[in-house]
Amino acid sequence: MEIQVNSFRVFGKEIPFYGLLFVFGFAVAVVTAIPKARKMKLPFSEIACSGVFAGVGGILGAKLLSVLTSINYIIEYHLSLLDILQNGFVFYGGLIGGAAGLLVYAKAFRAPVLPYCDLYAAGTALGHAFGRVGCLLSGCCYGVPHAGGFSVIYRHAIDPNTPLGTPLLPIQLIESFCLIAIYLACEAAFYFGKRRGASAAVYALSYSVVRFVLEFFRGDLVRGVWGGLSTSQYISLAIFAFCACAIGYGVYRARRAPART
């Protein structure tokens, strides 16, 4: 599969697929939260306010981690502040920043944070799936060289380091399919699970595993590699360990509760 363009024109203005699908993915995350909010008996204002907190935190976190993981690239090419701001985002930074935004919102309004994590878990996975399609069309977050039939060849790309004219593994599309499967699992956990935080736990555990594995097939090394593992793999390990410990602690408390009453 060859990709010749990474943007399109509307009324003479260039619209990049990356930015369009990034915004669309965020909108999907908010829209999918509406029926869940109704089930949880939360007013629409809760979605709007918590969505703003999560969105602002997500954008700041995604940009901050992008700068931190690209610091050598920024120094080498003497990028200006405008260049840095126009540079891409790192999803894990957005996820951590968005979670921090929800935590701030929950603390500010004295509400439990787990219901809000459940509110957006499935939508985050689905929105991210659309975002990865944007990456595929734009030529960023590309895969390793792959000469098989299931490959993609770029003629233009937003990432100046993307190998042009070289068959690459479409790792973005593979991740997109994995994210759709995670979305379905999160929806099942939300509507059929019996505990708060089930949907968020399914998302965090499953995505951290998927991301850890898929990182071995990424071809862009700007994200930073230490000790044979990328920044995202270390974050994946940390998220998985945190969730596993949190679930273990929750199970321990649940088993201890009857003995106290």
3-class SS of residue 231: helix
Let me know: does 41 contact 47? Beta carbons within 8 Å.
no
* Beta carbons within 10 angstroms of residue 165's beta carbon: 8
Let me know: does 133 contact 175? Beta carbons within 8 Å.
no
Measured CA to CA, the distance from residue 49 to residue 53 in angstroms comes to 6
pTM of the shown model: 0.85
Predicted confidence at residue 194, as pLDDT, reads 78
Predicted confidence at residue 234, as pLDDT, reads 93
Predicted confidence at residue 135, as pLDDT, reads 87
Q: What is the pLDDT of residues 61-97, one digit of tens each?
A: 888 887 776 666 655 655 555 555 556 678 888 899 9
Fill in the amino acid letter for 222.
V
Distance linking the first and last C-alpha atoms of the chain: 64
Determine how β-strand 2-3 pairs with β-strand 153-154: parallel
Predicted confidence at residue 261, as pLDDT, reads 46
DSSP 143: B
Let me know: does 118 contact 190? Beta carbons within 8 Å.
yes
Give the dihedral sign, CA 231/236/239/242.
negative
Q: What residues in the chain have per-residue pLDDT under 50?
A: 260-261
Predicted confidence at residue 6, as pLDDT, reads 59
Domain positions in the chain:
2-260
Measured CA to CA, the distance from residue 70 to residue 225 in angstroms comes to 11
Predicted confidence at residue 5, as pLDDT, reads 54
Predicted confidence at residue 2, as pLDDT, reads 59
Predicted confidence at residue 214, as pLDDT, reads 95
